Amino acid sequence: MDDAALLISELLARRWLPRSHRLVKRALVDAELFAQVEQRLAQVGLRFMDSIYADHVGLALLPAAQNAVLGEAGVGANNNLELPRDAQALLIVLWALIVLPKRERQTSRQAMAEPGQSDFFPAARPLPDAASTSPVLSYKALLEDYGAQLGKKLRLDANLKLLERHGFILRRQDEIAEGPLLDVLLDYDVLAPRILDGALADVLAREKAAQELEPNQALAPDQ
């Protein structure tokens, strides 16, 4: 078995692989190997999913295969995991709260540990990895802010387990973090404008304003 076949087999078996994986690293710099991987995947209606902003890679259906297999209309057009509608809504909310601020930090070459540090040449700095830029959400805050809209605690807990099982998020006690597939399978270029200019725009603006207000309150002198 050659390296192209081995990489595809591992991706099919494990569903995602870290960019640090030996064969993934090689495929991303070896044009011949990457072309072999893409060609073989295309023969069975699949494509290699990668983003420089994500720490993992995965597989997805090609658009033509997606329409043929899942249908062009209805929930099946973008959901082959049988996620209920409230789980899909929760996934979008989590993506907006985790990936959008992460992408902003990555494109500005700013890690979470250095919010106040300035740089004369930020574009020359290496792109921070997801681990150093991806925010961690509080489960209690998520339940308080979105529980009523997402089915309250019972449904929220069930859907969080479902999203964790599919690799979109990671759970660490009261914390919700980015999973391997959250920034790989959801299309940033399509989702970001819809969210930033759409239904969640006001919510995200209020949350950003509150985050900016907190350090100012901490620095304010006692009255």
DSSP state at residue 75 = G
Alpha-carbon 122 to chain mean position: 24
Q: For residue 9, give both structure tokens.
A: 């087999």
Q: For residue 178, give both structure tokens.
A: 């980015």
Write out pLDDT tens, residues 128-145.
566 667 789 999 999 999
Residue % of the chain over a pLDDT of 90: 48
pLDDT value of position 124: 45
pLDDT value of position 121: 43
Q: Answer with the residue of higher pLDDT: 111 or 20.
A: 20
Between the alpha carbon of residue 149 and those of residues 20, 94, 144, 145, the distances in Å are 38, 14, 10, 9
Rounded to 5°, the CA angle 131-132-134 comes to: 65
pLDDT bin (cut points 50, 70, 90) of residue 217 is: low
Write out pLDDT tens, residues 47-88.
999 998 899 999 998 988 877 777 655 445 555 677 888 999
Beta bridge partners of 47: 60
Kindly tell me if the per-residue pLDDT of 118 is higher than 60.
no
Q: What are phi and psi of 151, to 5 degrees?
A: 95, 10
The rounded distance, in Å, linking the Cα atoms of 72 and 193 is 22
Least confident of 19-33, 56-70, 100-114, 164-178: 100-114
The residue behind tokens 């009255």 is: 223
Q: Give me the sign of the Cα torsion angle 182, 185, 189, 193.
A: negative
pLDDT bin (cut points 50, 70, 90) of residue 200 is: low
Q: Answer with the residue of higher pLDDT: 191 or 4.
A: 4
Query: What is the average pLDDT score of the chain?
Result: 82
